[in-house]
A and B are shown apart, each in its own frame.
Chain A
Amino acid sequence: MTYRKDAIPYLILLPTILYLVAFLGYPLIQTFILAFTSETGAFGNFQRLMDSGDFWKALKNTLLITGIIVPLQLILAIALALFVNMRFKGYSMILYVISIPLALSDVSAALMSYNIFAPTGYLNKILLKLGLLDRPLYFFGYMFQNREFWIIVLTEVWRATPLVFVIILAGLQSINKEYLEAADVFGFSSWQKLTRIILPLLKPSIMSALLIRTLFAFQIFGVVWLLAGRDILILAGEAYYWHNNVNDPHMSSTYAIVIAVVSLIISWFYISILRSRELEGETK
């Protein structure tokens, strides 16, 4: 490593910093300005938001989706990671298969899901063929919001579990094997090894996976928009709707700010849990 007091490193970093300030920082400020300007004062947009039933529905749905998919993904991902980490012959092929959804956009994941659950989709075809149904089952449409909701959950679990999986697996692989060997020496059962050693050591990975997934789940857009449109209201969908369909950048920005603020609160929440756990560990 070279130590230099001179300006070279700063000069080289300058374009990156300037770029991020110009294309993230500045628009961010603009978003705030848009959200806080309305004909009825600084908080007019927020007032409008609070007064609209749509906002509360969108908030409720977004929270609900997040609250359901994140724990599901975590459990599945841990199970998958434990499985792959057995390192059996051909495990790298399984690893690749699991990581395929990582490369897929929410749009294509939604289309894949639609392909299965559409009225003429494969699920209906198979069920009809087997004679289990005499009419196709409908999953989409305003009247079937409930079913739509669960399809969205399923799709998100399918699409985004691999993200969690990768983080957990990386954490698993960094666990020193000697801890487990020591556990073997002391006669731990597999279950004890999992609950007493692996999971506690995985805690940092689990927390960061949770944080990332919660943040992303909170911004969920493509899957819902394609599969349910505005049948199921969500925050990012409303931001999009207000901008593209109503042409009201103020309301759109207001939704954006809400997403950002809630994201911040969620991050803060996770990080403070992480902190307090660490402190606990220290005092023990």
Chain B
Amino acid sequence: MAKVRIENLKKYFGSVKALNGIDIEIKDGKFVVLLGPSGCGKTTLLRCISGLEKVTEGKIFFDSTDVTNLPPKSRNVSMVFQSYAVWPHMKVYENIAYPMKIKGYDKNKIEEKVLWAAKTLNISELLDRYPAQLSGGQRQRVAVARAIVLEPEVLLMDEPLSNLDALLRVSMRSELKKLQERLGTTTIYVTHDQVEAMTMGDEIAVMQNGVIQQYGTPEEIYHKPANVFVAGFIGSPQMNFMEVQILKEKNELFLRNESLNIRLTDDLKTELGNKIQNKNDVFILGIRPENIHKEKTDISKFEPIEGKVYFIERLGSDTIVHLEFKGTRIVSKLPGDVKINEGESLKMYIDLSKIHVFSKIDGKALI
């Protein structure tokens, strides 16, 4: 078990800058998820940590040991590959035992540990089979068993659930998470699936273009996105974005564009007030669909919007309403049982305590 610290890590493939200055400190025993769209460098980062990929620049520490230039075998990491990479020419038992065999453990110890790992992953009956005789889910369990058998300092997983069918994926999520909690191994888990990230991660690092955009708990990532990218990437349906100007009138702040004119609440006003320099700047207003309601309540301030229902997606538990509102479309997420029809006109309320404002220039969140 170890703390993982990465300093200014860069990895270039020729002219492709797969990682462009990664700084992160992962506390001992945490389950950290690397989340980001395809091609953002998640796998590359994981492979740099494992030692399979040589870094172009920067340093990687496990606790206080600099492992940057160590080969994988000297790092005490283990890994679950996306394709599982369960060796096809070895039986399940040998697959799990092999890492220990390489390291020269004695036979009894190996057997004890293999049986333990197999029991932990519920694959004790499969030890005598070849990988070709296993289902995808079983193969994946073998890969995990092989990865934990040596109790590594750092456990790396690259989209381990992406090749499973939907149901199995959901049940494996909780199982892997529970396993990690039990073992307490520092785990770095790559996925492009935000639900997986939100449900499994103690902490999430959201990546884009080879850079970590935000590192924080799932709550922080969701409620306090650091920039437009994170705000847009997390949450489904996606956050509504609108360009607005911020205007000061009689000691009040207004977010205004052709269709909206929102007076900010006092809390937000003080928070935002300090951060605006040039009042002619354009800003981006972000509103999550789930923060637009059909009724208002007293607990917070609301801004009404009225428009025509353009399209409805009924998902059972939720209803996604696309509202045509003064030339823009606004998406809102309502309960599954609301009675609305396409084409009718509808009045809805934006919860003003939950809005986000970003700078248009660098995308950074202001509130």
Contacts and interface: CB of A to CB of B under 8 A. Distances in A.
7 contacts: A2-B52, A2-B53, A2-B54, A3-B13, A3-B14, A3-B53, A4-B54
Nearest to B13: A3
Q: Please report whether the interface of chain A is mostly helix, strand, loop or mixed according to DSSP.
A: strand
Nearest to A3: B13
A3 B53 CA distance: 8
Contacts of B13: 3
A3 B13 CA distance: 7
A2 to B, nearest CB: 7
B328 to A, nearest CB: 42
Nearest to A6: B54
A4 B56 CA distance: 10
B102 to A, nearest CB: 20
Interface of A: 2-4
A6 to B, nearest CB: 9
A4 B54 CA distance: 8
A38 B354 CA distance: 94
Contacts of B53: 2-3
Contacts of A3: 13-14, 53
Interface string B52-68: 11100000000000000
Interface of B: 13-14, 52-54
- Sorted nearest first, the 7 A-B pairs with minimum C-beta distance are A3-B13, A2-B53, A4-B54, A2-B52, A3-B14, A2-B54, A3-B53
A140 B52 CA distance: 67
A4 B14 CA distance: 10
B85 to A, nearest CB: 14
A183 to B, nearest CB: 33
A196 B5 CA distance: 62
A256 to B, nearest CB: 42
B81 to A, nearest CB: 14
B44 to A, nearest CB: 10
A129 to B, nearest CB: 57
Contacts of A2: 52-54
Of B13, B52, B54, the most chain A CB neighbours within 10 A belong to B54
A4 B53 CA distance: 9
Nearest to B52: A2
Contacts of B52: 2
A193 B54 CA distance: 52
Contacts of B54: 2, 4
Nearest to B16: A3
A18 B334 CA distance: 71
A184 B65 CA distance: 66
B20 to A, nearest CB: 16
A2 B71 CA distance: 13
A4 B52 CA distance: 12
B245 to A, nearest CB: 47
Contacts of A4: 54
Nearest to B53: A2
Nearest to A4: B54
A2 B47 CA distance: 10
A211 B13 CA distance: 37
B360 to A, nearest CB: 37
A2 B14 CA distance: 12
A2 B51 CA distance: 11
A23 B53 CA distance: 37
B199 to A, nearest CB: 32
A197 B54 CA distance: 48
Nearest to B12: A3
B17 to A, nearest CB: 13
B9 to A, nearest CB: 16
A46 to B, nearest CB: 48
A4 B55 CA distance: 10
B285 to A, nearest CB: 43
B19 to A, nearest CB: 13
B45 to A, nearest CB: 15
A281 to B, nearest CB: 31
A2 B13 CA distance: 10
A90 B68 CA distance: 58
Nearest to B18: A3
A78 to B, nearest CB: 36
A216 B35 CA distance: 56
A5 to B, nearest CB: 9
B54 to A, nearest CB: 7
A211 B52 CA distance: 42
A103 B53 CA distance: 44
